[in-house]
Structure 1
Amino acid sequence: MLAEIGQFALILAFLVAAAQAVLPMVGAIRGDSALMNFGRTTAQLQAALLALAFAILMASFARADFSVALVAQHSALDQPLAYRLAATWGNHEGSMLLWVLILALFGAGIAAFGDNLRASLQARTLSIQAMITTAFLAFSIFTSNPFARLDPAPLDGSELNPLLQDPGLVFHPPLLYLGYVGFSVTFSFAVAALLEGRADAAWARWMRPWVLAAWVPLTLGIALGSFWAYYELGWGGWWFWDPVENASLMPWLLGTALLHSAIVTEKRQALAGWTILLAILAFSLSLIGTFLVRSGILTSVHAFAVDPERGVFILGMIGVATGGALALFALRAPMLRSGALFSGVSREAGLTLNNLFLMAVTSVVFFGTFYPVVMEAFDQKVSVGPPYYNMVFAPLSVPLLILVTVGPMLAWKRDSLSTLAPKLKWVGLATLASFVAAGFLLGWSEVGAAFGFALALWLIAGGVMALAKRWRGAAGFNVRLVRTTPPAVLGMALAHAGLGVLVAGISAMSALSAERILVMRPGQTVEVGAIAVKFLSLAEVQGANYRAMQAQFEVTRGGRVRTLVSERRIYPNSRNQTTEAGIDAGFLGNSYIAIGDQQQGPAGDGLVVRSYWHPLVGWIWFGGLMMALGGAASLADRRYRIGAATKLPPVPKAGPVAATVPAE
């Protein structure tokens, strides 16, 4: 009976979403306040119904109700409760229900926190948001029903993929979905602005918090996913340019561009059309990521479904949503104008150039991801891997990272190189000194690593200098200016510094890491970079729902000795195998050991052992965390809670989109 209640709640949510998709839009066109307010009520009702449906599905997993087909297919009695609960979204149907729940929660957020929005803009935004929710609910109900019954019910279920039986499953997918789905709000705001005929500073101010609300969890989700793959898959790397990894990176790159473009639109009423286009494309790439995971066209450890019919359904949604929005943009774009002018040396120009480089690197990732897919349709197998990205992505990233520090030092509207140079003097000198020092310490054969460390310092020092510039008054350092610094400024400095920390970690991993893969026997020792690895023992152990071959190693680094354990696990229920790496994490780097299969040879039985020294690898994830915290600090800025002024000029009935330029 419980599953039927969940199914009924899902159907009711679909009907409510369909009504919300139509009636508020009609109210906005007619100026009917009752119909516009109807959208706020239905948004909250829709969220409540979907929360009920999701809670029922989670309860079914917790109770091990194997009469629900989804529960029987993805959980078992001997599976720990935490992973039975997380299995709610560790599959296609459950993850889609989580997707639409987050869609509805964002819609309810627009309704609850949009009191300072124009009623017509809020109504149109809620209507478009409901159109997206209606489409995904139809997908869930008609192709991916999470509450389908199984008769007769089995006594036990099939085990969740062992790779997913990890704490990462609890946090990684929900964070990614918050990011993906969060861009639906910016998409809805963009299309509503095109329909309403106004894309001004107030609109950008209203939209910017929602950009941050998507960007922060997406940043955390990508960082956590990288860390999860690092310790769980046993491959010894932090990023593999997997197509589904790229699917999360692409909307993040465009979301970063959107965040900076919205600042220009808010501050100077410039780039309004570009901001709208980025909002459309960022969500479109989120939909494309959904298509990659669920269409069956890719084989990946991240893929959920292998059903082409589901892929066609999602492809149709992408076509309607993206095609319709871009067609509307094409009709309105010629009328978008802005009276805000700026010189070639200004903060606006710096942020615009920043956007162009972000678009370029996104295009590189997009091409590398989809070229093999397209060629496979013509029966040609093509592999695009790290060599391509190292050759194309990295060179485009360097000028982008340089601009990150230059941009905040520029003045709005007009600046000059002669006034910019003194602001960057000390940062530039420190960067040059760090490059020379790194070259001597590492050896000039590692000039790439030296340049990477110098670039990292450039970013970190740039974040510090941005704060110092604000805190320095006419008479020097001013404590009052420190106390009154807006959280958004602190967040910007923290995010840019976090990017520098991440670059330092990537540079060290790319140029200075070491690895040895060989057959070892107990008692044998091998040198790997800065560490020495001694194979101590090998034994079989029994876990809660697996058995494992467990190897112990003694790792010595600079006189520091640690014992690491690596396992090769076998799950009898599903016959799957996983590798659990032994990791000794430190500030300067990680010792990493993963074992493979046993080997027989003339010298006796041995074990394949992959030993790695990963310098500064933890800085990659700590840098990502710093960036996310910077975004969260910006989101906490009181100016966004207050919102933009509501006294605005009337909406023009025809002609160019209004663009009110704020007074200087």
Structure 2
Amino acid sequence: MLKPIGPRDARLYNEVMITELGHFALILAFLVACVQAVVPLIGAHKRWPGWMAVAEPAATAQFLLTAFSFGALTHAFVTSDFSLRLVVLNSHSLKPMLYKVSGVWGNHEGSMLLWVLILTLFGAMAAWFGGNLPPSLRARVLAVQSAISVAFFAFILFTSNPFLRLAVPPFDGEDLNPLLQDPGLAFHPPFLYLGYVGLSMAFSFAVAALIEGRVDAAWARWVRPWTLAAWVFLTIGIGLGSWWAYYELGWGGFWFWDPVENASFMPWLIAAALLHSAIVVEKREALKSWTILLAIMAFGFSLIGTFIVRSGVITSVHAFANDPERGVFILMILAVFMGGALILYAARASVMEAKGVFGLVSRESALVLNNILLAVSAFVVFIGTIWPLVAEIAFDRKLSVGAPFFNMAFTPFMVLLGLVLPVGAMMPWKRGSIARTAKPLIPVFVLALALAGLAWAMQSGRSLLGPVGLFLGSWLVFGAAVDLWSRTGRAGAGRLRRMTRLPRADWGKAVAHGGLGITMLGIASMMAWEAEDIRVVQLGESYEVSGYTLVLDQVAQVEGPNYFATRGTVSLSKDGRPIAKLFPEKRNYPVARMPTTEAAIDGRFLRDIYVVIGDPQADGGWAVRTYFKPLANWIWGGAILMALGGALSLSDRRYRVAAGARKAKVAGVPAE
């Protein structure tokens, strides 16, 4: 007689079935991707409409199957299905729900599944919203995008399968890395991957255009929204990662020039260059070959970043994996796609002949200079990141390239970019005059110079970093405002009204450029004028930092949902006036057997007071580290403004593309 199935057995059976269906859906998505990568290409070559039409439903099916697979893995984490090896290694039944969900992508296998989910999402969106593309180009774009999917599906299924099971499931899991149990890190990877993978669309458009032999203004209009969306997501992702490093790691810095940080920064720089280069193709039918090359290299740097993070060849606290087999597989993907695209680029050089002619002093030339500075900056970061590996392989030497090299080699290019950006943004197309363009910017230049001089006088002869940063930041912010104001036409009572009617692309450009200036100002101020205090403090003892008084009131042991912590209570005041209570913590996660530092920050508009509590001392005191950080929040405020500016421009571009590239017009004002 068969034993009836109880509720617990039924639940376990359902969990197993959902997980197995997720695995099957992933395999099926791989097969669909193989079909989509081949059939539409043949159809476009033979001009067979039926074969080309396969691309659109295949792209949708590929996304839906991958989404189901990702949902099945998420369900396993949420329900703590410890029969799944990945859940055991990266979750725990006592972990808060937010981190159970973020644990899905807080590891190598799950993050790769998220990567492929986003890859198929972009392909499906190109199918859904690409109705205005020529059928043959759309088929080729979707086929190239699917070829990338094939490579990464194979990578997951053959080297990084997230659905591997354990014969004997344990009672509980080993928990997620405590450093990743934070809201900033919960949302950082998805935004970063949206940026990384979004650049695959620019790559697919570039390769499809080379195959088709068509690189023109219409192509630039199609590729710009995808690139802009990827750049916006990358900006948000990098900003979230920097913010997390600032408040979570306890060392008080926002950027360490870590290889993984550089891995996201290089594509961001190249994507910014690609955006500006595509403008020239769209407006003037020039810089075609350079724009195609940037589209290829932008995604290439994304793949290089994937290799750095997941191969283990370069040590980083952020690395996901340390497996040479996976590194070799990613290297093969990089070689196939970059090598194939560059060979095709060389073979199709004739289709990228420039038609527009422009003078040495023109907006085109300014954008070329912008491109050179951004590309060289990315190359400098690449050399500094990869050089330790080259030195070890070629010269058998262990080298470390740190912040001093990057600050010295990278900063001059950013300073030069900041200097030329306001003038270049206002330069007319085809030919112009520096004197005429710079005339309305003279008051802004004088004001920025005066602010820098004031800062130099007030800081009593310290380094030039602070005054230079203040000058560049002010120059960029005020220059962006003058650029926007100049687009309202001649002087008159209606200028403010006309400003509100400017195209969103104009507003987006001004906001993004201003955001860059604010970020530069925040970085320079923090690096030049911060103050650090490290001491042993007794309970009840007060001490001074940059005019602020801090008192260590008490230290207590507290318990969190899955950790124990030593929590300090610090009173912050100035001139006898209480300001805030700060609660720095030193946490210990017993399951993961790993401590973390939780800084306490009193953040204000013009400064942060940053407190970290350390270990108890033999005399009964506690080690306390305190920082005064001027304009710290301006770094991430500027990043938010850059992303907002990109989003404003993106909304305008989508409107124009959807409407057949209609030009938004303002009386007497040319659209950007």
Q: Same fold judged by TM-score > 0.5?
A: yes
How far the C-alpha of 1:80 sits from its partner, in A, is 1.0
How far the C-alpha of 1:425 sits from its partner, in A, is 1.7
Alignment of 1:224-373 (within 5 A): 224-373=240-389
Distance in 2 of aligned mates of 1:638 and 1:380: 50
In 2 relative to 1, CA 45–567 (structure 1 residues): closer, same or farther, beyond 3 Å?
A: same
Distance in 2 of aligned mates of 1:437 and 1:477: 36
Conservation of the 8 A alpha-carbon contact between 1:516 and 1:610: yes
Code of the residue aligned with 2:629 in structure 1: it is H
Conservation of the 8 A alpha-carbon contact between 1:442 and 1:450: no
**Could you say which residue in structure 2 is the equivalent of 1:653?**
none
Distance in 2 of aligned mates of 1:193 and 1:476: 47
More off after superposition, 455-464 vs 541-550: 541-550
Distance in 2 of aligned mates of 1:375 and 1:537: 50
How far the C-alpha of 1:504 sits from its partner, in A, is 1.2
Equivalent residue of 1:569, what SS?
Answer: strand
**Could you say which residue in structure 2 is the equivalent of 1:205?**
221
Conservation of the 8 A alpha-carbon contact between 1:104 and 1:133: yes
Distance in 2 of aligned mates of 1:241 and 1:29: 46
In 2 relative to 1, CA 624–285 (structure 1 residues): closer, same or farther, beyond 3 Å?
A: same
In 2 relative to 1, CA 11–103 (structure 1 residues): closer, same or farther, beyond 3 Å?
A: same
Alignment of 1:546-557 (within 5 A): 546-557=563-574
What TM-score do the two structures reach when normalised by structure 2?
0.94
Distance in 1 of aligned mates of 2:451 and 2:381: 31
Distance in 2 of aligned mates of 1:482 and 1:618: 29
Structure 2 residue 82 is matched with structure 1 residue 66: yes
Conservation of the 8 A alpha-carbon contact between 1:118 and 1:646: no
**Could you say which residue in structure 1 is the equivalent of 2:498?**
481
Distance in 2 of aligned mates of 1:124 and 1:476: 52
In 2 relative to 1, CA 480–376 (structure 1 residues): closer, same or farther, beyond 3 Å?
A: same
In 2 relative to 1, CA 489–518 (structure 1 residues): closer, same or farther, beyond 3 Å?
A: same
Structure 2 residue 591 is matched with structure 1 residue 567: no
Structure 2 residue 624 is matched with structure 1 residue 609: yes
How far the C-alpha of 1:596 sits from its partner, in A, is 2.1
Code of the residue aligned with 2:386 in structure 1: it is F
Alignment of 1:626-645 (within 5 A): 626-637=641-652, 640-643=655-658
- Residue number among 396, 415, 423 corresponding to 2:440 in the alignment: 423
Distance in 2 of aligned mates of 1:321 and 1:557: 59
Distance in 1 of aligned mates of 2:652 and 2:498: 16
How far the C-alpha of 1:264 sits from its partner, in A, is 0.7
Distance in 1 of aligned mates of 2:205 and 2:595: 46
Distance in 2 of aligned mates of 1:244 and 1:631: 24
- Residue number among 82, 95, 99 corresponding to 1:83 in the alignment: 99
- Residue number among 595, 601, 615 corresponding to 2:613 in the alignment: 595
In 2 relative to 1, CA 593–346 (structure 1 residues): closer, same or farther, beyond 3 Å?
A: same
Conservation of the 8 A alpha-carbon contact between 2:180 and 2:186: no
Conservation of the 8 A alpha-carbon contact between 2:185 and 2:241: no
Distance in 1 of aligned mates of 2:419 and 2:185: 36
Distance in 1 of aligned mates of 2:163 and 2:226: 32
Distance in 1 of aligned mates of 2:561 and 2:624: 25
Distance in 2 of aligned mates of 1:415 and 1:95: 49
Structure 2 residue 412 is matched with structure 1 residue 395: yes
Greater RCO, 1 or 2 (C-alpha within 8 Å, sep 6+): 1
How far the C-alpha of 1:374 sits from its partner, in A, is 1.8
How far the C-alpha of 1:14 sits from its partner, in A, is 0.2
More off after superposition, 440-449 vs 114-123: 440-449
How far the C-alpha of 1:545 sits from its partner, in A, is 1.1
Q: What's the % identity of the aligned pairs?
A: 53
Equivalent residue of 1:472, what SS?
Answer: coil
Conservation of the 8 A alpha-carbon contact between 1:467 and 1:493: yes
- Residue number among 541, 546, 561 corresponding to 1:544 in the alignment: 561
- Residue number among 94, 106, 114 corresponding to 1:98 in the alignment: 114
Unaligned runs of 5+ in 1: 648-663
- Residue number among 359, 365, 379 corresponding to 2:396 in the alignment: 379
**Could you say which residue in structure 2 is the equivalent of 1:524?**
541
Equivalent residue of 2:316, what SS?
Answer: coil
**Could you say which residue in structure 1 is the equivalent of 2:167?**
151
- Residue number among 618, 632, 639 corresponding to 1:624 in the alignment: 639
More off after superposition, 481-490 vs 457-466: 481-490
**Could you say which residue in structure 2 is the equivalent of 1:656?**
none
Distance in 1 of aligned mates of 2:352 and 2:78: 53
Distance in 2 of aligned mates of 1:609 and 1:147: 45
**Which digits, 9 at most, give the CA deviation of each residue in 1:36-82, with x for residues without a partner?**
11101100110000000000100111110101111111101111111
More off after superposition, 468-477 vs 114-123: 468-477
**Could you say which residue in structure 2 is the equivalent of 1:30?**
46
Conservation of the 8 A alpha-carbon contact between 2:18 and 2:72: yes
**Which digits, 9 at most, give the CA deviation of each residue in 1:118-167, with x for residues without a partner?**
11111111000000000000001111111111111111111111111111
Conservation of the 8 A alpha-carbon contact between 2:601 and 2:611: yes
How far the C-alpha of 1:436 sits from its partner, in A, is 2.1
Conservation of the 8 A alpha-carbon contact between 1:116 and 1:646: no
Code of the residue aligned with 2:309 in structure 1: it is V
**Could you say which residue in structure 2 is the equivalent of 1:11?**
27
**Which digits, 9 at most, give the CA deviation of each residue in 1:251-295, with x for residues without a partner?**
000000001001111111111110100010010000111111110
Equivalent residue of 1:139, what SS?
Answer: helix
Code of the residue aligned with 2:598 in structure 1: it is E
In 2 relative to 1, CA 170–453 (structure 1 residues): closer, same or farther, beyond 3 Å?
A: same
Code of the residue aligned with 1:322 in structure 2: it is M
Q: How many residues align?
A: 645
**Could you say which residue in structure 1 is the equivalent of 2:9?**
none
Conservation of the 8 A alpha-carbon contact between 1:581 and 1:592: yes
Structure 2 residue 153 is matched with structure 1 residue 168: no
Distance in 1 of aligned mates of 2:497 and 2:251: 51
Conservation of the 8 A alpha-carbon contact between 1:24 and 1:123: yes
Code of the residue aligned with 1:451 in structure 2: it is V
What TM-score do the two structures reach when normalised by structure 1?
0.95
Conservation of the 8 A alpha-carbon contact between 1:533 and 1:611: no
**Could you say which residue in structure 1 is the equivalent of 2:469?**
452
Distance in 1 of aligned mates of 2:512 and 2:355: 31
Conservation of the 8 A alpha-carbon contact between 2:185 and 2:240: no
Unaligned runs of 5+ in 2: 1-16, 663-671
Code of the residue aligned with 2:519 in structure 1: it is L
How far the C-alpha of 1:476 sits from its partner, in A, is 6.6
Distance in 2 of aligned mates of 1:475 and 1:567: 58
Distance in 2 of aligned mates of 1:265 and 1:133: 29
Equivalent residue of 1:168, what SS?
Answer: helix
How far the C-alpha of 1:643 sits from its partner, in A, is 4.7
How far the C-alpha of 1:482 sits from its partner, in A, is 2.3
Alignment of 1:117-196 (within 5 A): 117-196=133-212
- Residue number among 485, 490, 494 corresponding to 1:468 in the alignment: 485
**Could you say which residue in structure 2 is the equivalent of 1:411?**
428
How far the C-alpha of 1:646 sits from its partner, in A, is 9.3
How far the C-alpha of 1:338 sits from its partner, in A, is 1.1
**Which digits, 9 at most, give the CA deviation of each residue in 1:281-330, with x for residues without a partner?**
01000011111111012332211111110011001100111111111112
Equivalent residue of 1:637, what SS?
Answer: helix
Distance in 2 of aligned mates of 1:422 and 1:568: 56
